[in-house]
Amino acid sequence: MSSVSTGTVMAPRSTASSPVQSFETGFGRVSCDPQAVRLGELFVTDDGVEVEVIGLEPLAFAEAPEEDEDWGE
Amino acid sequence: MKRGVTLAYDRLRPEERLLLHAFERLGATVREWYVPDLTFDLGTGVDGFGARMADTVVVERCTSQARALALSRLAVASGAVAVNDPSVIALCGDKLATSAALAQRGVPTPRTGVAFDLDGALELCRLFGYPVVLKPLVGSWGRMVSRLSDADAVEAVVEHKSVLGGPAHKVLYLQEHVQKPGRDIRAFVTSTPGGGEDVFAAIYRTSEHWITNTARGGSASACPITDELAEVVGAAARAVGGGMLAVDLVESDRGLLVVEVNHTMEFRNSIDVTGVDIPLHMARFVLDGADA
């Protein structure tokens, strides 16, 4: 499991019956189902920042890294 | 032999979500590996997975080419089947290796050459005629691809690469600039059990920019799979060793020319416009291999 050294972890803002909840990440808010997210999953916050899931228990986000030289298809 | 399926990834993009959903629709259980967290002991495999590696098909979906190649090599060394095979990833992840494989098999490509210093680069440019295209050996999404209009531009970029680049940038990979009709073609292909290729979807990528990647803002539309397209794409796939691939081509007055072959292709923009369930096709290809 990734260590949670960056990013911001917050309690869910909504606990309605829908599994989708809203989370404050420190870079804006994302909506996701915390039971379904996976490490490394990418989201774009309502502030337009790409964030990456870096921890699941507790759920933690960090700003997604910039493109690296060997990234591709 | 019935094998289990493992999807290995480092960034979970929409493509990986779509693939997982496709496997689910086919009733397949898929193990997931978040590759940055893995340790891999060549004696015991991943996380003690050990002997069971031989019962696994590893679907490699890493964004990092270095990680992709390492993971697939380790998986195969431990007895697993990797999609794609590390030999295919090694070829497709290096533009020069791809070009060499395509040339060896007579697959049509833009005129391509390599130089190791400025004088050699200028000589190739003189042979190809300006503008020329200079590309890094490793990279994707049109990153660091330069269209150079004259010798001054070549001198400037080669000097930058020489001073700022790593060892790989000392190999200057140059291509003729093909006057394409504002678009290129991406075709999706899988190998078939009989040794053939199934070209199952294709898109045009259209842009006002000379780099037409959809990752750079190019728009996707359906492209008919003509006999010529199927033939050239099939030949390109065979040349790199086959598997589950996307071939990029340009239209020219010499016919279709293969620009590159992608081993971990993105496809999110290609499903709606082609009407082809690309992730389902890919999942079926993997499961067919798992049952073989």
pLDDT at A16 over 60: no
Mutate which of B47, B63, B164 to test chain A, going by most A C-beta atoms within 10 A? B63
pLDDT at B148: 96
pLDDT at B51: 61
Stated pTM of the model = 0.90
Nearest to A40 among B10, B264, B265 (CB): B10
Asked, for residue B38, whether it belongs to a domain, the answer is yes
Among all residues of chain B, which has the CA nearest to that of A37?
A: B12
How close does chain B come to A38, measured CA to CA in Å?
8
- Preceding omega of A58 cis (within 30 degrees of 0): yes
Please state whether beta strands B45-46 and B255-262 pair in parallel, antiparallel, or not at all (unpaired).
unpaired
Asked, for residue B97, whether it belongs to a domain, the answer is no
Single-letter code of the amino acid located at B145: V
- Structural domain including B166 reads 112-176
- Preceding omega of B131 cis (within 30 degrees of 0): yes
- What CATH code is carried by the domain that includes residue B139? 3.30.1490.20
Asked, for residue B251, whether it belongs to a domain, the answer is yes
pLDDT at A15: 41
Asked, for residue B8, whether it belongs to a domain, the answer is yes
Max Cα-Cα span within chain A: 43
**What would be the CATH architecture of the domain defined by A1-64?**
Single Sheet (2.20)
- Judged by DSSP in three states, B254 sits in coil
How close does chain A come to B16, measured CA to CA in Å?
9
Residues of B in contact with A1 (CB under 8 A): 37
Which residues of B have a CB under 8 Å from any CB of A?
A: 9-13, 17, 32, 34, 36-37, 63-66, 93, 136, 138-141, 143, 246, 262-266
Asked, for residue B77, whether it belongs to a domain, the answer is yes
Beta bridge partners of A71: B64
Alpha-carbon distance B11 to A51, whole Å?
11
Q: Verify whether the Cβ–Cβ distance B34 to A71 is below 8 Å.
A: no
pLDDT at A18: 64
Among all residues of chain A, which has the CA nearest to that of B36?
A: A2
Among all residues of chain A, which has the CA nearest to that of B61?
A: A73
Asked, for residue B158, whether it belongs to a domain, the answer is yes
pLDDT at B48: 63
Alpha-carbon distance B66 to B93, whole Å?
9
**Cα-Cα end-to-end distance for chain A:** 26
Nearest to B34 among A39, A42, A69 (CB): A39
Do B218 and B207 touch, CB atoms closer than 8 A? yes
Alpha-carbon distance B101 to B178, whole Å?
20
Asked, for residue B48, whether it belongs to a domain, the answer is yes
Choice between B90 and A7, residue whose per-residue pLDDT is larger: B90
Note whether B117 and B60 are same-domain residues. no
pLDDT at B285: 97
Note whether B255 and B281 are same-domain residues. no
pLDDT at B143: 84
How does pLDDT run along chain B (292 residues), one tens digit per residue?
788 999 999 999 999 999 999 999 999 999 999 999 888 887 776 666 666 778 899 999 999 999 999 999 998 988 899 999 999 999 999 999 999 999 999 999 999 999 999 999 999 999 999 999 999 999 888 888 999 999 999 999 999 998 888 888 899 999 999 998 999 999 999 999 888 999 999 999 998 888 877 777 789 999 999 999 999 999 999 999 999 999 999 999 999 999 999 999 999 999 999 999 999 999 999 999 877 7
Burial B35-53 (b: 16+ CB within 10 A, else e): beeeebeeeebbeebeebb
pLDDT at B166: 84
Note whether B37 and B22 are same-domain residues. yes
State the ipTM, two decimals: 0.78
- Say if residue B234 is exposed, middle or buried (CB neighbours under 10 Å; 0-12, 13-18, 19+): buried
pLDDT at B50: 63
Domain range summary for chain A, segments of one domain joined by +: 1-64
Alpha-carbon distance A26 to A60, whole Å?
10
| A67 interfaces chain B, CB cutoff of 8 Å | yes
Smallest CA-to-CA distance from B32 within B1, B61, B54 is with B61
Q: How far is CA A65 from CA A51, A52, A55, B47, in A?
A: 8, 8, 15, 26
Residues of A in contact with B64 (CB under 8 A): 68, 70-71
Q: Verify whether the Cβ–Cβ distance B140 to A71 is below 8 Å.
A: yes
- What CATH code is carried by the domain that includes residue B7? 3.40.50.20
Q: Verify whether the Cβ–Cβ distance A72 to B141 is below 8 Å.
A: yes
Q: What's the number of domains chain B is made of? A: 3
Note whether B10 and B72 are same-domain residues. yes
Do B119 and B267 touch, CB atoms closer than 8 A? no
How close does chain B come to A55, measured CA to CA in Å?
11
Do B163 and B186 touch, CB atoms closer than 8 A? no
Alpha-carbon distance B260 to B99, whole Å?
8
pLDDT at B280: 98
Please identify, among B124, B146, B176, the residue that sits at the C-terminal boundary of a domain. Answer: B176
Asked, for residue B89, whether it belongs to a domain, the answer is no
Note whether B76 and B9 are same-domain residues. yes
